[in-house]
Amino acid sequence: MAVSWCEANNQNPWYGRYLTRVDYAISNTMYDYMKPLGDPRLAVYADPAANTGTIVSMPYGISNAEAGSITNAEVSYLGMAIREQNAELPILTTSQIEFSLAEAALKGWISESAEEHYLKAIAASFRQYGVYSQAAFDAFVAQPDVAWDATKGIEKIGYQKWVALFLQGFESWAEWRRLDYPVLAPAEAALNSSKEIPVRQAYPTTERDINTDNYLEAVARQGEDGLDTKLWWDVN
């Protein structure tokens, strides 16, 4: 039976979010990294701001009061191509797999070329967003901040995987914690006690209240149930 993408149950969730609120914008954190590199994916990730006709980023991590003073017309919404009702929202991409293979090769887990998989990963991301051409790709990966360097392999993978995982926030957050790249600044108006970027999610109150014995046992092993307690795989 054919599935209609126009049904609410099957539509892209970002489309649904924009039906009730239109304050999702590209952050200056992502913009400030992509723009100097001339990354062609930026024009897909964000639409021009209504006031300027150019891509304008939203300051990351500011207070509600500061954010509320910036009008919708002053910043760039997510690109229409990735928030249309029938826009694809991948769960696992070719790009992710190639980055994982690049990391495996770099660490000697597989006898393949880390550089080759790294370049294939970026090319796959370009193709995913419809911006691939040989000339554009060659120019992009030739830049010093992108070009493969085995002595900085994890850093290179970390930055480019972060960009490729746009809109896959939880996955990107996990990779940042695991790889320690990209280097990111904490939010100006951070609310957690350390004022650093959170490294885990706290347990929901229902877990604490309904599954108390196991909750307390887990907290005793892992440490405080807060946003600043690292998970077991994030110990570096």
Contacts of 198 (CB under 8 A, 6+ apart): 192, 227, 228
Q: How confident is the model at residue 193 (pLDDT cuts 50, 70, 90)?
A: confident
Confidence of residue 10 (pLDDT cuts 50, 70, 90): confident
CA 12, 42, 27, 46 torsion-angle sign: negative
Which of 76-90, 98-112, 144-158 has the least mean pLDDT?
76-90
Nearest-angstrom CA–CA distance, 157 and 133: 21
- pLDDT for 79 beyond 80: yes
pLDDT in tens, 15-61: 999 998 888 999 999 999 999 999 999 999 999 999 999 999 999 99
Q: What is the Cα–Cα distance from 230 to 136, expressed in whole angstroms?
A: 39
Least confident of 15-24, 38-47, 70-79, 88-97: 15-24
Q: How distant, in Å, are the alpha carbons of 43, 48, 60, 76, 227 from that of 31?
A: 10, 12, 11, 10, 26
The whole-angstrom separation of Cα 166 and Cα 151 is 26
Please determine, for residue 177, whether its predicted confidence score (pLDDT) is greater than 60. Answer: yes
CA-to-CA distance for 4 and 92, rounded, in angstroms?
A: 22
Dihedral of CA atoms 134, 175, 102, 119 in degrees, nearest 10, equals 10
Confidence of residue 7 (pLDDT cuts 50, 70, 90): confident
pTM, full prediction:
0.92
How would residue 213 be classed by pLDDT, with cut points 50, 70 and 90? Answer: very high
**Structure confidence at residue 33 (pLDDT):** 98
Burial of 79 (0-12, 13-18, 19+ CB in 10 A): buried
Distance CA 209, CA 211 (A): 6
d(CA 63, CA 195) in angstroms, rounded, equals 13
pLDDT of 77: 95
Quote the pLDDT of residue 22.
85
d(CA 46, CA 34): 11
Tokens 């850093």 map to which residue? 155
* Nearest CA-CA partner of 102 in 146, 140, 150, 136: 150
What does the radius of gyration of the chain's CA atoms come to, in whole angstroms?
A: 20
pLDDT of residue 40: 98
Q: What is the average per-residue pLDDT within 186-202?
A: 92
Residue of 51, 65, 60 lying closest to 32 (CA atoms)? 60
Q: Domain ranges for the chain, please list them.
A: 8-82, 94-179, 190-236
Of 44, 215, 231, 26, which is closest to residue 132 (Cα–Cα)?
44
Domain 94-179, CATH? 1.20.120.840
Are 163 and 41 spatial neighbours (Cβ–Cβ below 8 Å)?
Answer: yes
